[in-house]
Structure 1
Amino acid sequence: MLALTRKKNESIIINNNIEITVLEIKGDQIKIGIKAPRDIPVYRKEVYLQIQASNKDSLEQEGLDDLRNLLGLKG
């Protein structure tokens, strides 16, 4: 993990097209702003993990057998 120190209104750039800016520092919380192309999804980690778990559950419960049947694979 890369750890950087930034002050209010300072930014970092990722991959030439994502900018993360520290907007506010209040106690033990910071508010950040993220500028990224619309085709790049940005999620809070807890939401991302829920989406991944939901997708995994969906695939395991419904889609895997259907996909195997469609591809003519034996499970």
Structure 2
Amino acid sequence: MLVLSRKLGQRFQVGQDVRVTIVKIDRNSVRIGIEAPSDVIVYREEIVPQEEVEPSVNASTV
């Protein structure tokens, strides 16, 4: 895991097409803005569809 320290208004880039901006900082929360192409789906972790989280049943182990 990469851990970054950013200040209000600072940004970082993920790959070629995704930009994350620190929009607001409160005592117990940070608000971020995500700019991404319309074909990139962004989910909060608590609502990620289960088929994307669980490994495939048919996956073979090596």
Asked if Structure 1 and Structure 2 have the same fold, meaning a TM-score greater than 0.5 normalized by the shorter chain, the answer is yes
The higher radius of gyration belongs to 1
Q: Which residue of 2 aligns with 1:29?
A: 29
TM-score (norm 2): 0.78
Taking the aligned partners of 2:50 and 2:8, their CA distance within structure 1 comes to 32
Q: Which residue of 1 aligns with 2:4?
A: 4
Runs of 4 or more, structure 1, over 6 Å off, are none
Which structure is higher in helix share? 1
Q: What is the aligned-residue identity percentage?
A: 35
TM-score (norm 1): 0.65
Alignment root-mean-square deviation, CA: 1.3
Secondary structure in 2 matching 1:24:
strand
RCO higher in 1 or 2 (8 Å CA, sep ≥ 6)? 2
Gaps of 5+ in 1: 57-75
The alignment of Structure 1 onto Structure 2 pairs a total of residues equal to 52
Residue 52 of structure 1 and its aligned partner are, at CA, apart by: 1.3
Please list the CA deviations of residues 19-66 of structure 1 after superposition, one character each: whole Å capped at 9, or x if unmatched.
Answer: 000000011101000000010100100001xx215xx7xxxxxxxxxx
